[in-house]
Amino acid sequence: MGKVKIDVWHDAAGQIIAVGQPMLRQDSNLRVTPLTGEGQLVLNTEIDQAMRKNLHQTHIVDVQKKVLVKTKAKA
């Protein structure tokens, strides 16, 4: 699977609230501005398409570095 551009809504602690992706072709000139609620931020990033479905369970956002970080597996 290929890479996809996504928007990741998260809170100030880095917990993922939602993941969004423009549905048009990746090479289109579509420009979107994600809207946030109070206390929310949005990270624009690119991930492997296979990660998209479970991203909220496997990753958090490092708010300082503005990157996704894999979380430790739950025992």
DSSP assignment of the chain: --EEEEEEEEETT--EEEEE---S-TTS---------TTEEEEEEEEEGGGTTTHHHHEEEETTTTEEEEPPPP-
pLDDT of residue 35: 79
Rounded distance, CA 5 to CA 26, Å?
8
Task: Give the model's confidence band at 75: pLDDT under 50 very low, under 70 low, under 90 confident, else very high.
Answer: very low
58: pLDDT strictly greater than 60: yes
Question: What is the residue type of 55?
Answer: L
Task: Give the model's confidence band at 22: pLDDT under 50 very low, under 70 low, under 90 confident, else very high.
Answer: confident
Q: Is the pTM of this model over 0.85?
A: no
41: pLDDT strictly greater than 90: yes
Mean of pLDDT over the chain: 86
Rounded distance, CA 19 to CA 10, Å?
9
